[in-house]
Amino acid sequence: MDIKDIQNLIKFVSKAEVSEVKYKTKDFEITIKTPLGGNEVSYMQQPAVYHTAPQPSASAPAVSSAPAANTADVAADDDSKFVTIKSPMIGTFYRKPSPDKDVFVNVGDEVSNGKVVCVIEAMKLFNQIESEISGKIVKILVDDATPVEYDQPLFLVDPS
């Protein structure tokens, strides 16, 4: 079983929402445990946004009357032109290959398809995460040495 097979197994287990999976062959054994087995699980609730703007009539010109009080809405609109690099697995996000080395990428750096942008540690394996697009790093969305979830946004890239 190679690293890609292990990554695919981790993805499968996270999507299947099971608490534990054991896979064993004559020379290899792997156990994957998820928080669903009764361990503590933390959830972040997204704030609900309600707009009660009146609907324009068919003869009236279209005017946006949505309030701009929520800065998260404004930031989401600004980020819509960027492409997101997401985590392909659950693990711990690292910006450096090792503590004594430089970071893989900084804000403003150009990345190309296949360039390593970070490392995610999963079950004592350090998986290099490569960019699937070319462009400029606009924003780093995760702090170094923090846990990440499957499909969690890591970087925003301006493809232009």
For residues 26 and 85, membership in a common domain is answered with no
Residue 2 DSSP SS3: coil
For residues 14 and 84, membership in a common domain is answered with no
The model's pLDDT over 126-159, given as tens digits with 9 standing for 90+, comes to 999 999 999 999 999 999 999 999 999 999 999 9
For residues 140 and 90, membership in a common domain is answered with yes
Q: Rounded to the nearest 5 degrees, what angle is found at the Cα of 93, between the Cα atoms of 100 and 154? A: 120
The model's pLDDT over 51-107, given as tens digits with 9 standing for 90+, comes to 444 444 444 444 444 444 444 444 445 667 899 999 999 999 999 998 899 999 999
For residues 34 and 84, membership in a common domain is answered with no
Residue 68 falls within a domain, yes or no? no
Domain holding 120, by residue range, is 79-160
Residue 71 falls within a domain, yes or no? no
Question: Considering only CA atoms, which of 153, 155, 143, 150 is closest in space to residue 94?
Answer: 143
For residues 93 and 158, membership in a common domain is answered with yes
For residues 89 and 157, membership in a common domain is answered with yes
CB 90 within 8 A of CB 10: yes
Residue 120 falls within a domain, yes or no? yes
For residues 87 and 14, membership in a common domain is answered with no
Q: How far is CA 112 from CA 109, 115, 128, 135, in A?
A: 10, 6, 15, 6
- How many domains are contained in the chain? 2
For residues 96 and 24, membership in a common domain is answered with no
Residue 55 falls within a domain, yes or no? no
Of the two residues 3 and 90, the one the predictor is more confident about is 90
Residue 69 falls within a domain, yes or no? no
| Predicted local distance difference test score (pLDDT) of residue 62 | 47
Q: Provide the CATH number for the domain around residue 150.
A: 2.40.50.100
What residue has token string 């990345």?
111
Give 70-124 as a DSSP string: -HHHHHHHHHTTSEEEE-SSSEEEESSSSTTSPPS--TT-EE-TT-EEEEEEETT
Residue 52 falls within a domain, yes or no? no
CB 89 within 8 A of CB 7: yes
